[in-house]
Structure 1
Amino acid sequence: QSEVFSSAGLPLVEELVQGRNGLLFTYGVTGSGKSFTMQGHPDNPGLLPRCLDSLFNSVGSRLAKKFVIQPDRCNGFDIHSEAEAMMERQRVELERRHGGWRQLEAEAASRIRESARVPLGELEGDAFGCAVFVSYVEIYNKLAYDLLEDFGVPGQVLRAEPTSRALREDARRNMYVSGALEVECRSGDEAFAVFLKGCARRQVAQTALNAESSRSHSVFTIRLVRGCYDCRLGEMVPDKSLLHVSQLCLVDLAGSERSLRTGNAGSRLREASNINNSLLVLKRCIEALRENQRAVSAGGANAATKIVPYRESKMTQLFKNFFDGDGSVKMVLCVNRNAEEVEETANVLKFAEMASEVQ
């Protein structure tokens, strides 16, 4: 886990701190270890908790006071006064005295922590303050859901049927899940506790190949918001136009599966069909990108190119900006070495080979 994080996760954390976007996803057949690679165990953490720890190790001393920077519900952020922020801090602290939040924080704190940090580089000498926000959504049966929908609501029972969310494009043409809650965090433990809270709502089920098979694609997004800090007044400069937002999306894809081997039927079979279809669209998008790049390389900027079918799946539509070149994309391939999986594993490796050819 440590080696995978050093080669795949840590470089993306450094780019996040430097103000650039990143996308990291795990890919493979069902039961190949994707969720373990992303989450891990308390004594052997995966990519997600290690990314959180290294981020706060790097920017912890530059964090602004909580709730000074707040989401504006249109995928952007506003800067609030200290008085407004103080009222919000009091309200949230009251809410967190209820429910199982303290238990989640204790569970998050019981794990081994990542000690790595990344350099601030050119930002080292700048006067800036920042805030870290996390959100957690899933793509299930072609619809997007907010896994933090009931976060922070004291005494409220989780609804059996969560509300589906639309994908929208903001003023900067970035795709986002409309209405998804973003939670401000000040430590890796706090952010990981939010992740654990969302995991309780994620769609999982038992199949013939996996005791806890993911039935959805989950997307945990870390957003780092950086603004100018007035050292003389000891507060953030109240100008939202000076804010810079970068994000890192950590995606645990559901695994491809064949119904003959999993024994799926009914709703499980419908889930598998939707999972396989969305993964097929991802493959077609990667293939179209590769062919377009080859065409441009051979024929110049005026070469004929294919339309990339982003809109055929919610998952690929959400990450359209990344595939168009706005940030780095990394894929961690998880391989099941069982002899029974050889045919599906070969298909996974072929997809990885194709993806590695896309710049």
Structure 2
Amino acid sequence: PAGRGDSEAQGVRELYWAGDDGPPGGDKGQGGPGGEVGLSGGTCPHPEGGARGPRLPPISQIHAHEAHRRKLHNTIQDMKGNIRVFCRLRPHVEEEGTGVIRPLLEDGSSHGTGVEVTMPGTEDGHPGPQHLFTFDRVFGPAASQDDVFLEISQLVQSALDGQKVCIFAYGQTGSGKTHTMLGEPENPGMIPRAMDKIFESSRGLQAQGWEFRMRASMMEIYNEEYRDLLGKGAAPPRGHKVVHDACGNTTVSDLTVIDVMQSGGVETLMKRALSQRSIGATALNERSSRSHCVFTLRIEGSCQGTGESSNGVLNLIDLAGSERLSKSMSVGDRLKETQAINKSLSALGDVICAIGSKAEHIPYRNSKLTWFLQPCLGGGAKTLMFVNLSPASQAAGESLCSLRFASKVNACEIGAARSRSGPLKN
């Protein structure tokens, strides 16, 4: 909900200067997380006066501040909630008719927390009903990819810190999901920007003695089947299987997993994968994604100097667009694809409703999509959903359905995310 985490600044100040919660040795640092840190040894002053803590060797001080940063970072993310919803309205195209969606933006900003939908009026001139929704963040059509990524970059950092993170885009076909998640070479989306962030941040940690192994995979869920988008050979005879273990780890059988060392390597893999993704033309979109596309990065880290280790997972998902059969005019293979897409998105809605009502049984097994997403929705991860909207008047009904679904997601509460980090095992 809007306003979630409003007390973060005060909470961080209290945590940062709390006597029992500081870094080892009692050193409170200077400048706070992300600020300037003195590395010359000696004691660091408390802002109210007085010296705190013994002299620390520079490398020990660096490790202490990094451990403290992680603690504060994860506390802030927990304050914001483990499931969040961002709304993004794509720009209006003239031939689409009158826009019916108005983002309620902060003065002089490209974002806010509210969105208003005015449904088309009746034939006799009566205005249509209005609906108001609030989310964690609403981006207007002028918001750039930079603006959007700035708001999710801290979740990406959580994956490097050992958390499971899932970010997915939901909305009708043609609403801008693929633009948001993948973008274009000259204007990359969230997935390539997330990779740049991961590798940039990991280089800073490597200077502190951390070592990382990163492995990428990419698959699609097409007609209720998992398909490897990086595989070179034929699919396994019995198909790919998703298995979740007791620790919340997810394994996809026979899926190609490739070690990556830099964001450029990921870009090459993505080009290869996307060339195999199922795309088709419908009456609503001449290049409609006919599958849910899942990019996964597994991040294993270790620091011999502190004995720490971490295991993070970042899932970035471009969902296929929901479509009304009467409007998409799908036939043949397109009809089968549309039915499979709508079934899986409906199953996702059923899971969200069950979570929201705290039902004893959550129907994760009703689709391949919800079964894969179980750890992301079941309390073991930090999850963010983009609801992408078209401003077109002819899309008002679908936009309203998307917003109502997103509102249900926004009202859900899931358990605390678990950080998969701890002492380094020999």
- Check whether TM > 0.5: yes
Q: Deviations over 1:186-225 (max 9, x none)?
A: 1111111111111111111111111111111010011111
- 2:184 alignment partner, one of 25, 41, 50: 41
1:236-247 to 2 correspondences below 5 Å: 244-247=310-313
Output the CA distance in 2 between the equivalents of 1:217 and 1:169. 19
Equivalent residue for 2:353? 287
Residue 2 (str. 1) matches residue 68 (str. 2): no
Q: How far did residue 350 of structure 1 move?
A: 0.3
Question: Which has more helix, going by share of residues?
Answer: 1
Runs of 4+ aligned residues of structure 1 deviating over 6 Å after TM superposition are none
Output the CA distance in 1 between the equivalents of 2:356 and 2:247. 26
Q: What is the aligned length?
A: 268
Equivalent residue for 2:296? 221
Q: How far did residue 260 of structure 1 move?
A: 1.6
**Normalising by the residue count of structure 1, what TM-score does the alignment of the two structures yield?**
0.71
Q: Deviations over 1:218-247 (max 9, x none)?
A: 10011111124479xxxxx9xxxx753110
Q: Deviations over 1:253-283 (max 9, x none)?
A: 0010012211200111011001000000101
Output the CA distance in 2 between the equivalents of 1:220 and 1:261. 30
**Preserved contact between residue 60 and residue 186 of structure 1 (Cα < 8 Å):** no
Q: Deviations over 1:164-193 (max 9, x none)?
A: 311123463423211111111111111111
Equivalent residue for 1:145? 227
Q: How far did residue 321 of structure 1 move?
A: 1.2
Q: How far did residue 62 of structure 1 move?
A: 5.2
Residue 255 (str. 1) matches residue 255 (str. 2): no
**Preserved contact between residue 215 and residue 258 of structure 2 (Cα < 8 Å):** yes
- 2:242 alignment partner, one of 167, 186, 189: 167
**Preserved contact between residue 225 and residue 243 of structure 1 (Cα < 8 Å):** yes
- 1:272 alignment partner, one of 332, 338, 342: 338
**Preserved contact between residue 236 and residue 254 of structure 2 (Cα < 8 Å):** no
Per the alignment, in what secondary structure is the counterpart of residue 389 of structure 2? coil
Equivalent residue for 1:98? none
Q: Which residue identity is paired with 2:159?
A: L
Q: How far did residue 61 of structure 1 move?
A: 5.4
Q: Deviations over 1:318-357 (max 9, x none)?
A: 1211211111110111101111111111100100111111
Equivalent residue for 2:165? 22
Q: How far did residue 4 of structure 1 move?
A: 1.1
Q: Which residue identity is paired with 2:150?
A: S
Equivalent residue for 1:321? 375
Residue 212 (str. 1) matches residue 292 (str. 2): no
Rg comparison, structure with higher value:
2
Per the alignment, in what secondary structure is the counterpart of residue 325 of structure 1? coil
Equivalent residue for 2:255? 180
**Normalising by the residue count of structure 2, what TM-score does the alignment of the two structures yield?**
0.60
Q: Which residue identity is paired with 2:255?
A: A
Per the alignment, in what secondary structure is the counterpart of residue 2 of structure 1? helix
**Preserved contact between residue 182 and residue 190 of structure 2 (Cα < 8 Å):** yes
Specify whether residues 61 and 4 from structure 1 end up closer, same or farther in structure 2 by C-alpha distance, changes over 3 A only.
closer
Specify whether residues 171 and 179 from structure 1 end up closer, same or farther in structure 2 by C-alpha distance, changes over 3 A only.
farther
Output the CA distance in 1 between the equivalents of 2:300 and 2:288. 34
Per the alignment, in what secondary structure is the counterpart of residue 284 of structure 2? coil
**Preserved contact between residue 355 and residue 412 of structure 2 (Cα < 8 Å):** yes
Specify whether residues 173 and 11 from structure 1 end up closer, same or farther in structure 2 by C-alpha distance, changes over 3 A only.
closer
Equivalent residue for 1:119? none
Q: CA RMSD in A?
A: 2.0
Q: Deviations over 1:127-172 (max 9, x none)?
A: 321111111011111111111111xxxxxxx76x786311123463
Q: Where do 5+ consecutive residues of structure 1 fail to align? A: 64-123, 151-157, 232-236, 293-304
Stretch deviating more after TM superposition (222-231 or 134-143): 222-231
Q: Which residue identity is paired with 2:302?
A: G
Q: Which residue identity is paired with 2:320?
A: A
**Preserved contact between residue 13 and residue 51 of structure 1 (Cα < 8 Å):** yes
Specify whether residues 162 and 272 from structure 1 end up closer, same or farther in structure 2 by C-alpha distance, changes over 3 A only.
farther
**Preserved contact between residue 344 and residue 369 of structure 2 (Cα < 8 Å):** yes
**Preserved contact between residue 134 and residue 184 of structure 1 (Cα < 8 Å):** yes
Output the CA distance in 2 between the equivalents of 1:259 and 1:326. 36
**Preserved contact between residue 175 and residue 319 of structure 1 (Cα < 8 Å):** no
Per the alignment, in what secondary structure is the counterpart of residue 197 of structure 1? helix
Per the alignment, in what secondary structure is the counterpart of residue 132 of structure 1? strand
Output the CA distance in 2 between the equivalents of 1:270 and 1:136. 23
Per the alignment, in what secondary structure is the counterpart of residue 282 of structure 1? helix
**Preserved contact between residue 202 and residue 216 of structure 1 (Cα < 8 Å):** yes
1:88-167 to 2 correspondences below 5 Å: 127-150=209-232, 164-167=239-242
Q: Percent identity?
A: 32
Output the CA distance in 1 between the equivalents of 2:245 and 2:375. 12
Output the CA distance in 2 between the equivalents of 1:162 and 1:218. 19
Output the CA distance in 1 between the equivalents of 2:245 and 2:357. 29
